Structure 1
Amino acid sequence: MVGFLKTKCVFPILCLCVFFLPTLCFHAETFSFAGEVSFSFVVPQRKGEEVSRSLFDTERRVLAEIAPSPGEAVKENSSFILAANRTYRKDPLDGFKRYSGGWNISSIHYWASVGFTAAPLFAIAAAWFVIFGLTLFFAVCCYCCFPERRRGYPYSRTAYALSLFFLIVFTIAAIVGCVVLYNGQGEFHSSTTSTLNYVVGQANLTVSNLRNFSNYLAAAKTITVDQVFLPADDQKKIDTIQTKLNSTANDLEYQTKQNSDGIRKLLDSVRLELIIIAAVMLLLVFLGFLFSILGLQALVYILVIVGWLLVTGTVILCGVFLILNNATSDTCVAMDEWVMHPTAKTALDHILPCVDIATANESLYQSKKVTYQMVNVVNQVIMNISNQNFVPSLSLFYYNQSGPLMPTLCNPFTPDMMDRQCEAGEVDFDNATQVWQGYVCKVSSSGICSTVGRITPSIYTQMAAAVNVSYGLYHYGPFLVQLEDCSFVRDTFSTISKTKCPGLRKYSGWVYIGLVMVSAAVMVSLIFWVIYARERRHRKFSKLPYQIPQGRSPRKAP
């Protein structure tokens, strides 16, 4: 039963969140790109002379080495039990003591306590199956073994009228229950599908951002050695980072597709099963009522046997959806409390490997720092070389620069890593490469500008590569830090808790109520089918000439 509950009963939240969202979290080493890139710009020398000068060399250690460890960054966090009040239930595996471990999908005691909430319904299903089955068995035995008693019962107008009245009432109740069940399953399917689409969208957003950032890193490696070079160890580091990013993106994309396809099939199968149950029960009630009214006693008894089995299965399904409703509510409460207690140790820690806030902030700080330094690299080239009118004697920096001065690149951060607004005359990451194309000159075979311009195609390509990497760090760095410290997952959980959970709880409750109404109404209807058929038979026999069996005194019908 526990295995069934894990795979079937809690798919609205657990499958959608637990399957996908842990993959969105990064360990610190995956994000250790911020300080690993070292650029050196080469200014072309006349007449093929191979002289290079490093204007700026950005060397940083890996963030995993710089950032403080979780134990150093923060003190030991206190433990917090998720959904403690909701999950305080009896645990049949622990002597029916109250379970106090809170929401924890890895604990068999949690599942046992959730499953035990449906124990009364499972007991009702078992009692119904046994008692009504024995009743049918003895009724058939009496009918076959004592044929002379078939016409020996008096007819009661009151019993006949009441049986007909209750038959009509519970038939209507069963029809209403079928309508509630059908509408509930439709809304439930829409709600779970909406939640699934949201989580899949978040996963796809992550995949897209990871690949975009990987592409920005790859752009730096497309430059030839004589234009901008990276030390061999830094190139290996970029390769390692790209491998990790691409591997994570591919794994997440694969898991998203596999899990989403499986969950969609599960949702569709559950929807189809509920529709079939609603349709079959509605048909059963209609035919049972019709056959009872028409006096087709043999068909009524056949439907009673079929209904006996269907009601047993429907009551069991009521228990399953009660477990589903409780598990869904538990999960929604647990997600909401996890979002409100970001530093506490909870049962989600082993599922979502988040780093502490101090480590994540250090990662973001280093990302900003490298972005700031790389923008300075580009601006030093512009201000100290491109926008200077050197004389030909300064062959190291002279390549016949001329024309309007180039705008500098807007640095999004101040020296203390605070946000900075762009000033007039600066270009930002979005339009820098387009604007700078207007300042590129044509060069001769000796590498000197032969037309008006401030930069050669070689320097422009180097600057474009630096802008690409800077843009990647600036634009995607905060997002990757959100993955690292689980704030992205917390935002996702918060959205699900606020916008998706109310619908999931409401419509799973509708399905449960519909199943209860249908099973209860059909259960009672089966009894009144038999009672009404019996009273109708007695009424029919009371109108026929009655032959007194030998040795019996006559009885008058009322």
Structure 2
Amino acid sequence: MAKERGGGGSMKGTNLLETNNDSLSDDTVRVDPLDHFKKYRGGYDITNKHYWSSTAFTGVYGYVIGVLWLLAGIIYGSILLANTYCCKTRKKGNLKKKLPCHKQCYFWPILLAILFTVLAITASGLVLGGNVKFRSRARTVVDIIIDTADGASGTLFNTTGAMKEIRDSIAESNVSAEAEQASSFLTSTSEKLDDQAADIDRHARKNRRLIMKVLKIVYIITIVTISLNLAAVISLSVCGTLRLRRALNLLIVLCWILTALCWVLFGVYFFLGKFAGDTCTALENFQENPNNNSLSSILPCDELLKAKPVLTDVSEGIYNIVNQVNENISVVQLCNPFSGPPEYQYQADNCPANTIQIGDIPKILEPLTCSGTSNATCSAGQFITIDDFRILGDFTSSIQNLLNAFPGMESLVECQSVSNAFSEILTHHCKPLKKYARMVWGSMLFLSLSMVFLVLIWTVQAHHEQENHSLDGSVKPHSSAVKEVESAEIKVAKDSSNYA
């Protein structure tokens, strides 16, 4: 069933991308190991496991070379152990036929080893520097996206909070059919918006934790591996130059393992570079077509657009309330913050000079409010009870809070805040992010190749040292015997000459 759902998502994504942007589909057509190595054509979708598997598979060369290199080391080590413990007799017979090596045999390998050591140290520095910068840029991009999602949920919560305050104020006033209808509308509307805000907030927190955790794990593994590799490379060269055989053999084994890890990390960063490129491409396509669903799992513009009719209903309700109030009073007129039907656009700055804001109503009515708790203590010109004034103040304050949240809500439902966030990422962070990703995997490739040659050079050198050590142990007794025979012959010759 999971496979069918993945396939369905792929077909849906394919149709969407074909109608919106063919270049994105081309960028994400990759081999999917989870789908029998067929081509994945679902586009950029971080909620689709087939997208992740196909993108992660782009680093397969690094993974495969790392595994093969490790297997080669295991096979080579097994052969050495077999020769050491099972073929001693045969090796002793062969060693007598070998001649000791001259000093030139050690000079060129050590010179090459030093050269590749310098290259490995240089590549390690590039990897460490690029890794820090890549992580910094990636964190910045994630923070921008998640902060935008947090801002969206915060705006929704502010709006629903103001709606609940209005509902509570209506409930405290005289109950009528219209009041009950308005209260019911505000309750259902605030619940819908609360659900959307909670959903956005939940996804934002989940994505932030997941992405930050992955970045942290990759960063720490890279730092530890490269730092350990750096120390091992330097120690390997020192022990090899000083001919410390036991330490050299142990360091060769360690560097062999670290070389395999470097190849795997090369594959990982190559995959992360592809993912960064996909993300930036998706952001570019969003700028051209905000209705593209490829980014809905990050910031759900489609879900936010569903709130637009609700926002229009609220605008219409406030517009009608203000008009009704203005029809019943003649001394002052309230500023209607919305245009007429059918748009009901928010336009608080277009209020005439002789009108007052809704939030300023309590200031105007305060002199008309009784100073006591009942009408019996009212002075001349005071006819509003303190209870009615409090309810009216809460009501107008709630409406003003709702109006204050309107610009953010309008920007939200039109996905303007999302578009601004993506535009900032594209303008300031996408190019550096992709550049540092290429820098890391390119340096890691260079380091892996340098390590391969360096380890092979010291492996051959260590084998040569082992052969010469065994050769020296078997030839020295033979040489001593020869010298004894020669000295005996010289002594006999001298004795003969003396007798003569």
What range is the shorter-chain TM-score in? 0.7 to 0.9
- Contact 2:370-2:377 at 8 Å conserved across structures: no
User: Aligned-pair distance for 1:458?
Assistant: 5.1
CA contact (8 A) 2:291 2:302 kept: no
* 1:269 CA drift (Å): 2.8
| Aligned mate of 1:424, from 346, 350, 353 | 353
**Residue 413 of structure 1: aligned partner:** 338
Equivalent of 1:379 in 290, 304, 326: 326
User: CA 1:549–1:93 in structure 2 vs 1: closer, same or farther (change >3 Å)?
Assistant: farther
- Tell me by how many angstroms 1:312 deviates: 1.4
Whole-Å separation in 2 of the counterparts to 1:311 and 1:210: 52
Matched, 1:183 2:129: yes
Specify the code of the residue in structure 1 equivalent to 2:450.
Answer: A
Cα 1:507/1:451, change in 2 over 3 Å: farther
The corresponding residue for 2:67 is 126
* Closer/same/farther in 2, CA of residues 502 and 308 from structure 1, 3 Å limit: same
Find the counterpart in structure 1 of residue 494 from structure 2.
Answer: none
Residues 156 and 480 (structure 1), Cα distance of their counterparts in 2 relative to 1, 3 Å cut: farther
How far apart, CA to CA, are the structure 1 residues paired with 2:242 and 2:136?
A: 41
- Paired position in structure 1 for 2:182: 234
Give the structure 2 partner of residue 510 of structure 1: 439
For 1:201, which of 147, 155, 161 is the aligned residue? 147
Could you say which residue in structure 1 is the equivalent of 2:495? none
- Matched position secondary structure for 1:187: helix
Paired with 1:149 and 1:238, the residues of 2 have a C-alpha distance of 96
Map 1:93-492; keep pairs closer than 5 Å. Answer: 100-105=41-46, 110-143=51-84, 145=87, 146-147=91-92, 152-223=98-169, 227-229=173-175, 231-343=179-291, 346-348=293-295, 354-355=301-302, 365-381=312-328, 383-384=329-330, 387=331, 407-415=332-340, 417=344, 419=347, 421-429=350-358, 431-434=360-363, 436-438=365-367, 440-442=369-371, 445-446=374-375, 449-452=378-381, 457=386, 460-484=389-413, 486-492=415-421
Any unmatched runs of 5+ in structure 1? 7-76, 388-406, 554-558
Which 10-residue stretch deviates more, 450-459 or 228-237? 450-459
> Displacement of 1:107 after TM fit?
5.4
| CA RMSD between the two structures | 4.1
Q: Distance in 2 between matches of 1:136 and 1:446?
A: 101
The offset of 1:305, in angstroms, is 1.5
Where does residue 523 of structure 1 map in the other structure?
Answer: 452
Counterpart-to-counterpart distance in 2, 1:221 and 1:279? 62
- Whole-angstrom CA distance in 1 between matches of 2:383 and 2:436: 66
- The structure that has the greater radius of gyration is 2
Give the SS at the match of 1:84.
helix
**CA–CA distance in 2 between the matches of 1:180 and 1:360?**
49
Once residues 358 and 440 of structure 1 are traced to their aligned partners in structure 2, the CA distance between those partners, rounded to angstroms, is 43
Q: 1:225 to 1:247 in 2, by over 3 A?
A: closer
Change (3 A) 1:263 1:174: same
TM-score (norm 2): 0.75
Instruction: Report the CA distance between 1:112 and its aligned residue.
Output: 4.8
- Give the superposition deviation at 1:96: 6.8
Letter of the 1:286 partner, please give it.
Answer: I
How has the CA–CA distance of structure 1 residues 226 and 380 changed in structure 2, closer, same or farther, with 3 Å as cutoff?
Answer: farther
Q: CA deviation at 1:130?
A: 2.9
Q: Could you state the TM-score of these two structures normalised by the residue count of structure 1? A: 0.68
In 1, are the aligned partners of 2:287 and 2:419 still within 8 Å (CA)? Answer: yes
CA contact (8 A) 2:70 2:257 kept: yes
- 1:147 Cα deviation after fit: 4.2
Secondary structure of 1:342's aligned partner = coil
The answer to whether the Cα contact below 8 Å between 2:145 and 2:298 also exists between their aligned partners in 1 is no
- Structure 1 CA distance for aligned equivalents of residues 325 and 81 of structure 2: 95
Residues 1:451 and 1:197: Cα distance change in structure 2 (over 3 Å):
farther
Displacement of 1:284 after TM fit? 0.9
Matched-pair contact (CA < 8 Å) for 2:283–2:426:
yes
Please give the per-residue CA displacement for 1:449-505, whole angstroms capped at 9, x wherever unaligned.
524458554554454345345434433345445544544434433333333333432
In the TM superposition, what is the alpha-carbon distance from 1:277 to its structure 2 partner?
Answer: 0.8
Query: Which moved further from structure 2: 270-279 or 487-496?
Result: 487-496
Aligned residues: 455
Structure number with the higher helix fraction is 2
**Contact 2:326/2:333 (<8 A) preserved:** yes
**Corresponding position of 2:28:** 87
* Alpha-carbon distance change, 192 to 342 in structure 1, aligned in 2, over 3 angstroms: closer
User: In structure 2, what residue type is equivalent to 1:506?
Assistant: K
Higher relative contact order (CA closer than 8 Å, sequence separation 6+): 1
Query: 2-side partners of 1:362 and 1:221: how far apart?
Result: 19
2-side partners of 1:94 and 1:218: how far apart?
A: 50
483 and 226 in structure 1: CA distance in 2 versus 1, 3 angstrom threshold: closer
Structure 1 position 448, deviation (Å): 8.8
Contact 1:155 1:535 in 2 (8 A): no
Give distance in 2, aligned partners of 1:328 and 1:308: 30
Report how far residue 108 of structure 1 moved: 5.7
Match in the other structure for 2:14: none
Q: Percent identity among equivalent residues?
A: 22
Unmatched 5+ residue regions in structure 2? 7-17, 483-500
The Cα offsets for residues 396-432 of structure 1, whole Å up to 9 and x where unpaired, read as xxxxxxxxxxx54322334354635233343335655
Separation in 1, partners of 2:404, 2:412: 14
Quick check: 1:443–1:451 contact (8 Å CA) kept in 2?
A: no
